[in-house]
C-alpha cells in the first residue's frame, strides 16, 4: 500500500507480459487485471496489432503500460524493470508460433524463441523476480501412443522446429529454474473475448482451423478444406482439445496463485479434457451461429497428429483451475470477433 496525496492506494503486484498484445497474451492481460494484478506489456508488434492495446484499455477501463521491445534484446527488457521497479512475475508468451513458418525458416524460429527465453530467464534471475510462467504446447507430446495425455506422457520427436523450441524451452526452464516457474502446455486455443473487442488477428491466410472457418463464413476465403477424413477416429477427421482462450488466460492467473503458495517448478496441461473432431468443430460453428459454410473434404495435411486431448486432473487439483467454456461458447465468440473485425475494416 502507498499513500498518494491524500488517498491510500492499493499497489497491485506487477506482472511483465511478453507478447501481451498477441492472441493469448491480450486475453491474459485482461484476466490479470480482473484478478488484481498490474500487467505491463512488452511486445515488438511483429505479429500483433497496436490497436489491440486500445481494445484492452476499453475492456479494463484504464490505461495499460506498454513497452515496444524485442525480447531478443536483453538490455531493452532489463530497461523496463529498471524503469518500473519491482515485478512479481513474468509471463512469457513472446515467440514465433507458426508450425509451417518454422519448417520454412527453422533457424529464425530457433534463434528467436530460444534467445528470448534465455533473456527472460536471465531477467528473472538478475532482478530477483520470483515467478515465471512459460507458454508451452501439447506439441511436445508429438503423436502420442495413448490419449488423453498426462503431464507424464513421454515426449516423441518434435514434428517441427516450432515444437522443438517448446521442448528445448521446457528443458531450459527445468535446468535453470528449479523453483519459481510454471510451464503451461496449451492444447488448441480458440474463441475470443465475450466483448468481441479482442481475439486472434491472423497474418495472411490462417493456418489454424477456427480462423479459417470464420474467414470462410464471412466470405474472405472461398471454402474450408477439412484435411483428412480417413483417420481411425469415429468420423474420420482429427481429434483436438479445443480450449476457449479466456479459460486459457485464466490458467495463467491460477499459475501465479499457485506460485504464491508453492514455489516449485511444475508443468500442467491446459485443455478441456475432452476431444472433439474437426468435423464436430465445423458443425458446432454452423449450428450455434446459424451460418452455412462451403466445406471440401480433402487429403490429410502432412505432419498432422491423428488425435490428442488433455488429461486435466493435475491442473484441477493443484492449480484449482478448470475450463468452463464449451465448444459452442468458443464458436459463438469466434464469430462475434470475426464479424466485428470486418466491420472495423469496412469503416476504416
Q: Out of 29, 42, 132, 209, point to the residue binding ligand UD1 (CB under 6 A).
A: 209
Grid look-up 476504416 returns: 348
Return the number of the residue (86 or 298) whose C-beta is nearest ligand UD1.
Answer: 298
Which residues in 213-272 contact ligand UD1 (CB under 6 A)?
224-227, 238, 240
CB of 275 to ligand UD1, least distance (A): 11
Residue 159 within binding range of ligand UD1, rule CB under 6 A: yes
3-state per-residue secondary structure call for the chain: CEEECCEEECCCCEEEEECCCCHHHHHHHHHHHHCCCEEEEEECCCCCCCHHHHHHHHHHCCCCEEEECCCCCHHHHHHHHHHHCCCCEEEECCCCCCHHHHHHCHHHHHHHHHHHHHHHHHHHHHCCCCEEEEEEEHHHHCCCCCCCECCCCCCCCCCCHHHHHHHHHHHHHHHHCCECEEEEEECEEECCCCCCCCCCCCCCCCCCHHHHHHHHHCCCCCCEEEECCCCCCCCCCCEECEEEHHHHHHHHHHHHHHHHHCCECEEEEECCCCCEEHHHHHHHHHHHHCCCCCEEEECCCCCCCCECCECCHHHHHHHCCCCCCCHHHHHHHHHHHHHHHHHHHHHC
Is 162 a residue of the active site?
yes
Which residues in 8-47 contact ligand UD1 (CB under 6 A)?
none
Q: Out of 14, 27, 97, 250, point to the residue binding ligand UD1 (CB under 6 A).
A: 97
Selecting among 109, 162, 186, 309, the annotated active-site residue is: 162
Return the number of the residue (142 or 180) whose C-beta is nearest ligand UD1.
Answer: 142
Alpha carbons 68 and 24: distance in angstroms, whole number: 18
Return the number of the residue (119 or 137) whose C-beta is nearest ligand UD1.
Answer: 137
Residue 325 within binding range of ligand UD1, rule CB under 6 A: no
CB of 291 to ligand UD1, least distance (A): 16
Residue 301 within binding range of ligand UD1, rule CB under 6 A: yes
Residue 113 within binding range of ligand UD1, rule CB under 6 A: no
Taking a C-beta distance cutoff of 8 angstroms, is the pair 80, 67 a contact? yes
Residue span binding ligand UD1 (CB under 6 A) among the ranges 155-163, 257-265, 286-294, 323-331:
155-163
Residue span binding ligand UD1 (CB under 6 A) among the ranges 60-68, 121-129, 205-213, 323-331:
205-213
- Hey, what's the cell of 177? 529454474
Residue 101 within binding range of ligand UD1, rule CB under 6 A: no
Return the number of the residue (124 or 160) whose C-beta is nearest ligand UD1.
Answer: 160
Residue 73 within binding range of ligand UD1, rule CB under 6 A: no
Residue 76 within binding range of ligand UD1, rule CB under 6 A: no
Number of other CB atoms surrounding residue 33 within 10 Å: 19
Residue 139 within binding range of ligand UD1, rule CB under 6 A: yes
Alpha carbons 163 and 22: distance in angstroms, whole number: 19
Taking a C-beta distance cutoff of 8 angstroms, is the pair 190, 245 a contact? yes
Residue 305 within binding range of ligand UD1, rule CB under 6 A: yes
Residue span binding ligand UD1 (CB under 6 A) among the ranges 146-154, 158-166, 243-251, 339-347:
158-166
Q: Out of 49, 65, 150, 208, point to the residue binding ligand UD1 (CB under 6 A).
A: 208
Residue 99 within binding range of ligand UD1, rule CB under 6 A: yes
Number of residues located near ligand UD1, criterion CB under 6 A:
24
Number of other CB atoms surrounding residue 19 within 10 Å: 26
Residue span binding ligand UD1 (CB under 6 A) among the ranges 74-82, 108-116, 202-210, 319-327:
202-210
What are the residues binding ligand UD1 (CB under 6 A)? Answer: 97, 99, 137-139, 159-160, 163, 186, 188, 207-209, 212, 224-227, 238, 240, 278, 301, 304-305
Q: Which residues are catalytic?
A: 162
Amino acid at each position: 500500500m502507498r499513500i498518494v496525496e491524500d488517498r491510500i492506494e492499493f499497489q497491485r503486484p506487477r506482472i511483465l507480459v511478453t507478447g501481451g498484445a498477441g492472441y493469448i497474451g491480450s486475453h491474459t492481460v485482461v484476466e490479470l487485471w480482473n484478478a488484481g494484478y498490474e500487467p505491463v506489456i512488452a511486445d515488438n508488434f511483429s505479429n500483433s496489432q497496436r490497436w489491440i492495446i486500445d481494445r484492452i484499455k476499453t475492456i479494463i477501463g484504464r490505461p495499460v503500460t506498454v513497452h515496444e521491445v524485442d525480447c531478443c534484446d536483453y538490455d531493452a527488457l532489463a530497461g523496463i524493470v529498471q524503469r518500473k521497479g519491482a515485478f512479481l512475475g513474468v509471463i512469457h508468451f513472446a515467440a514465433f508460433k507458426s508450425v509451417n513458418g518454422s519448417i520454412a525458416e527453422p533457424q529464425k524460429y530457433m534463434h528467436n524463441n530460444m534467445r528470448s527465453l534465455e533473456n527472460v530467464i536471465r531477467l528473472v534471475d538478475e532482478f530477483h523476480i520470483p515467478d515465471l510462467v512459460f507458454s508451452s504446447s501439447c506439441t511436445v507430446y508429438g503423436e502420442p501412443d495413448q490419449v488423453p495425455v498426462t503431464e507424464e506422457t513421454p515426449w516423441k520427436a518434435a514434428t517441427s522446429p516450432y515444437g522443438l523450441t517448446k521442448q528445448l524451452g521446457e528443458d531450459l526452464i527445468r535446468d535453470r529454474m528449479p523453483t519459481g516457474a510454471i510451464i503451461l502446455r496449451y492444447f488448441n486455443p480458440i474463441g475470443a473475448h465475450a466483448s468481441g473487442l479482442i481475439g486472434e488477428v491472423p497474418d495472411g491466410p490462417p493456418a489454424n482451423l477456427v480462423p479459417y472457418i470464420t474467414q470462410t463464413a464471412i466470405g474472405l476465403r472461398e471454402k474450408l478444406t477439412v484435411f483428412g477424413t480417413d483417420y481411425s477416429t469415429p468420423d474420420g477427421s482429427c481429434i483436438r482439445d479445443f480450449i476457449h482462450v479466456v479459460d486459457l488466460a485464466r490458467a495463467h492467473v491460477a499459475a501465479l496463485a499457485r506460485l504464491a503458495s508453492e514455489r516449485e517448478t511444475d508443468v500442467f496441461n491446459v485443455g478441456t479434457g475432452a476431444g472433439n473432431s474437426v468435423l464436430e468443430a465445423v458443425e458446432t460453428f454452423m449450428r450455434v451461429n446459424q451460418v452455412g459454410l462451403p466445406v471440401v473434404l480433402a487429403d490429410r495435411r502432412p505432419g498432422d497428429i491423428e488425435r490428442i486431448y488433455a488429461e486435466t486432473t493435475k491442473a484441477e487439483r493443484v492449480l484449482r483451475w478448470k475450463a468452463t467454456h464449451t465448444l459452442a461458447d468458443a464458436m459463438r465468440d469466434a464469430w462475434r470477433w470475426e464479424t466485428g473485425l470486418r466491420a472495423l475494416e469496412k469503416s476504416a
